[in-house]
Structure formats: structure tokens, C-alpha cells
Structure 1
Amino acid sequence: MDANLLSLNQTTPVVPSFPASYQRGIQRIALPYLNRTIMVSVDDIMYLEGEGNYTFIFTRDRKRFLVSKTLKEFEKMLNEIVFIRIHKSYMVNLAYVQFGVLNKDRVIRLTDGREVTISRRRMKEITSLLNTYIQSTMN
């Protein structure tokens, strides 16, 4: 019985699916954190949440970093093939999106179970971008 409890408490690893043309491990971002600067690989960022002049960065190892940059600044900096702005306050890494889980509630589910809302106005455009991304990962 203890073995069953242990297997239920363990979280499944979050595995991204990048397109073949995307070169992983090249870009890193320097983030100020606890009086020092840490380097975070762009490939480990699952999504970003903007809040005014600040942005929360959520990584695949469930860490959250607060940065004093706007989401618009990150939108210019990050690769548009992998990162898309799906809402005024959200930007997601397509490698961590569970495809086929896009529902009528305008919510994208990420591979770790988190859900992020899609803008009503950009729904068609985002659906098209998601389909294009799926095709690029299949090739």
C-alpha cells in the first residue's frame, strides 16, 4: 500500500515538444533573484504572466520568478516560433501546450496541468498558430 501512495505523490516529468527546426539550449535570460542574478534557459519557461510593469515567469520545475519588465518586452525578446501571446496578460511556450485540450472555455492546458485563458478576440489566430505548431512538431 505504501508503494501506491508514493507513486501517486510523485509528479510526472514535464516533457516539452519542440519543432525539429528549433535549436534548444541556445538562449538564456538573466533574472535578478534574491540579491543575485540567475540564468534561466528559455526552453524551461512554460508561460509568462504580465501584471502591469512586472512579469511572472513560470518554469517547468514549478518555480516562479518576478521580473520588473513588461510582457511586451518579453514578447519582443523571445522566439515567436515557440512563444505566443494568447491574452493581454499571458504568453505561453507552445512546447508545453497539451494539444487537443483546447476547449470552449477558451483555456489552454499545459503539460503540467495548469490552465491559461485565451483572449476572445485572438481565438481564431491562436488556433491557427497552434495548428501550424503541431504540424511543425510532426515533421
Structure 2
Amino acid sequence: MIKCVAIDDEPIALSIIQEYCKRFGDINLQCFTSPIEGMACVKETLPDIVFLDIEMNSHNGVELAKVIPPETCIIFTTAYSQYALEGFNVDAVDFLHKPVFYPRFEHAMQKALVLVNAKGGQIKRRDTITLKVEYKTVVVDIDDISYVEAMDNYVKVHRCGLPTIISQITMKEMETLLPDNRFIRVHRSFIVSLRAIEEFSNRQIFLKNFDRHIPVGRTYTDAFNNLYNIFKQNNNKK
């Protein structure tokens, strides 16, 4: 479940964010028209994402953003486009200009989730990742993933003994989500789990429980061999 807080002194704006979060799915959202109460909630609960209006009657959102914990992603929402540069200067993930429409909201959420997963990995082991599948948000267990395959503007996540997942995300974004000590990109179209490898050569990889082989691109050969040897040595020590 993604923890979010929305702070905006306009109730209508909050109701739109609330509706969009329900549509996106798997979000626990708390809304506040009072910046003071909202910031107290942020400090206490440490949400993954904060939706923050910039120009409120009593407070400026850019100034509030400066005291939000760095682990929390900020998405600014405002009717005043002149504040966009200021917003990005405080490392905001995105800037939503009112009135906000759902496709733009969804795009901002996808950007934020990449960072949420990446930041979480710096603090604790990333056992799961969150992917958008059609109109739903799906939590995927990392241990189930054998390999990831590029497919135009989507990726196919192949899991051992489980249905394949298709998500609209780039391979570069997928690399960011997966822990780099357990997964490696071996081709422009493939990322593989080191745990799933059964046999390999400089040119191809055979995975456990899969009939197909995965090609190793020329530019990825050395990196793959080095990482796999380290992974194998660490496992032998256990």
C-alpha cells in the first residue's frame, strides 16, 4: 500500500486527488486543508508521496517542501505555472498544473513510484516492487521474477510458475526498481535474475524452469561475468 498525504486549502482540489488515487488503486491517502495539520501528519507518518499545493492562504508550499523528509516524494499541485521552476528546485518529482486531468496524474504517480522503490531500497531490502498493470497497481514479489523482457513501450515480467505480467514501463525504469545485486541487464531487451540462472556462456543464458535461452549482448558480457562470479562466490560462503 502506497502512503500518500495531500495538502491543499481548496476542498475541491483535494476531492479530485482523492478520486484519482482511488482510480489508481493501492493508495492510502490522507487529505488536509490545513497546512499545519498536514505537515504534522507528514512528520508523524513519513508518507511515500505528498501532494502539495504551492500558494495557500497561510503558507507557501515551496517553503513547506524544504522541511519534508528526503525519503518522501513531492508532487506539487497549483494553478500558478510560474511556480514550476521553484518547485523543481526543491527536488519535486513532478508539477501538476490545475485543473489536473487523470492521465497527467497517472504519469506523475508512475514517476514517483520509481523513486519510492529506489529510495526504499537504500533503507531496507526491496522484497517487492509496484507496477502499473492496465488500470490497476500490482505488487510483485521480487523473488518470483526470473527475467524481464522489453516489448515496445512495455515490459513483460516472467515469473516462475506464475502468470506473466505486462506493464507500461521502460527497461531503464525497471532496472531502477530491481536490486542491482540480484538482477542484471544482459541485453538491451532482457534483464535476468541471477538466482534463476542454470547455465550460461558468453553468448547466452539458460534459466531454471524455462525452455528458452536469453541472449547476452556484446556490450553486456564483461559486466555479466563479473557480477555473476561475485554472486556465486557469496552464495558459496553461505
Cα 1:109–1:35 shift into 2, 3 Å: same
Q: Deviations over 1:29-74 (max 9, x none)?
A: 2334465433220111111011232110001114211100001001
- What residue in structure 2 maps to residue 108 of structure 1? 205
SS at match of 1:43: helix
2:165 counterpart (65, 81, 86): 65
Q: Report Cα offsets for 1:86-114 as digits up to 9, x if no partner.
A: 0001000101111xx2235x110001133
Higher helix share: 2
**In 1, Cα distance between equivalents of 2:216 and 2:195:** 16
Question: TM-score, normalization: structure 2?
Answer: 0.43
Extract structure 1 runs of 4+ deviating beyond 6 A: none
Equivalence for 2:116? none
What is the match of residue 6 of structure 2? none
Q: Structure 1, residues 5-37: CA drift from partner, whole Å, max 9, x if none?
A: xxxxxxxxxxxxxxxxxxxx8522233446543
Higher relative contact order, structure no. (Cα contacts within 8 Å, ≥ 6 residues apart): 1
Q: Which has the larger radius of gyration?
A: 2
User: Which ranges of structure 1 fall in alignment gaps of 5 or more residues?
Assistant: 1-24
Q: Which residue of 1 aligns with 2:224?
A: 126
Q: Identity over the aligned pairs, expressed in percent?
A: 28
For residue 63 of structure 1, give the secondary structure of its aligned residue in structure 2. strand
Alignment correspondent of 1:46: 146
Structure 2 Cα separation of the partners of residues 92 and 111 of structure 1? 11
Q: Structure 1-normalised TM-score?
A: 0.72
- SS where residue 69 of structure 1 aligns? coil
Match of 2:180 in 1: 80
CA distance in 2, matches of 1:124, 1:31: 30
Counterpart CA distance in 2 for 1:30 and 1:125 is 27
SS of the residue corresponding to residue 74 of structure 1 reads helix
* C-alpha distance in 2 between matches for 1:35 and 1:121: 36
From 195, 198, 201, the equivalent of 1:95 is 195
Q: Distance in 1 between matches of 2:127 and 2:208?
A: 22
CA–CA distance in structure 2, aligned partners of residues 107 and 63 of structure 1: 24
CA root-mean-square deviation: 1.9
Amino acid at match of 1:109: F
73 and 128 in structure 1: CA distance in 2 versus 1, 3 angstrom threshold = same
Cα distance in 1, alignment partners of residues 126 and 179 from structure 2: 11
